[in-house]
Amino acid sequence: MPKNVPMVKVYILGEGFDVPEGSTIISALEYAGFQLTVGVGCREGFCGACATLYREKGDYKLQAGLACQTVVTDGMNIAQIPFVPAEKPIYDINKLDPDIEAFKTIYPILFRCVGCNTCTKICPQDIEVMDYVQALIRGDIAKAADLSFDCIRCGLCALRCPAEIVQYNAAILARRLTGKYLLPNSPDLEARVKEIAEGLYEKKLQKLTKSDTETIKKQYYDRDIKTV
């Protein structure tokens, strides 16, 4: 690290640490000496593992964000929420229809929504969470799937909901039903899945699992990314 980087003070679970200005919450945690085994994953804002609550200096408001995407500010108070033990019913998608009945049976809790919008306020992905819950209540499965598309399943909405709804799990059912029943089939995708099932990548994968870390790293950084 270059010398003379300005530092800011953050409070992690109530304890103060000096960390470099401009760090994300994840790098601040690691700089402060925490070894993260949960509450982190992709570090790219996609996996949803790093939901974090924070409060900024002088503000009363508890805010939420992804630790890998949120930059620390001086005086910030931080607590990570590594896991939300939310309800996750088991169902057989082949036995469901893409309509309101599926939700009445599997997520009847949805109908308790009082329209408070607390879930939308907390969502780090800026999703209109209440509106997708409401779309489900009126059986508009495709709309719910569309509105919830960017959900990374961090669980913050469920933590905050006064009606104890598990929005993000219901949303995944909506997207599954939409994908399976409401969207047109893609022949290309089907052909691709068949190819893979028949072992197209079997050899390459086996080779990869046998390589050492350095080789994998090299391959990762040398990979050819197509830009559109």
Partner 1 sequence: MKSGYFPGCTLKTNAKHFEDSAMQVMEVLGHPLEEMENWICCGTVFSMTTDDLMLQLASIRNLLRAENQGYDELITLCSMCYNTLKRAKEFILNDEENLRKVNDFMYKEDSKFKGTTDVVHLLSILKDRITFEEIKNKVTKPLTDLKIGAYYGCLLVRPKELAIDDFEDPTIMEELVDTLGGEGVVFPYRLECCGAYQTIIEKDVTVKRTYEIINSARNAGCEALITSCPLCAFNLDQRQKETSEEFLEFSTMPVFYFTELMAIALGLKWNKDWKKLHYIDPVPLLKEKGLI
| Given 121, 146, 159, 172, the residue binding partner 1 (CB under 8 A) | 121
Tokens of 158: 């469920």
Give least dist CB 116 to ligand FES, A: 26
Report if residue 133 touches ligand SF4, rule: CB under 6 A.
yes
135 residue type, one letter: A
**106/110 Cα distance (integer angstroms):** 10
Q: Closer to partner 1 by CB, 38 or 116: give it.
A: 116
DSSP H or E stretch at residue 205: helix 202-210
Q: Closer to ligand FES by CB, 80 or 120: give it.
A: 80
Report if residue 109 touches partner 1, rule: CB under 8 A.
no
Report if residue 47 touches ligand FES, rule: CB under 6 A.
yes
Give least dist CB 177 to ligand SF4, A: 17
Strands 15-20 and 7-12: antiparallel
Report if residue 155 touches ligand SF4, rule: CB under 6 A.
yes
Rounded (10°) angle between helices 167-177 and 129-137: 60
Q: How many Cα atoms sit within 13 Å of 177 on the Cβ side? A: 26
Tokens of 206: 């086996």
Phi, psi (rounded to 5 degrees) for 202: -50, -55
Nearest to 182 by CA among 133, 146, 134: 146
| Given 10, 12, 29, 68, the residue binding ligand FES (CB under 6 A) | 68
Q: Is 163 exposed, middle or buried (0-12, 13-18, 19+ CB in 10 A)?
A: middle
By rule CB under 8 A, what count of residues binds partner 1? Answer: 16
Binding mask 57-96 for partner 1 (x = CB under 8 A): ----------------------------------------
Give least dist CB 122 to partner 1, A: 11
Q: Which residues bind ligand FES (CB under 6 A)?
A: 40-43, 45-50, 66-68
Binding site for partner 1 (CB under 8 A): 100, 113-117, 120-121, 130-131, 134, 137-140, 162
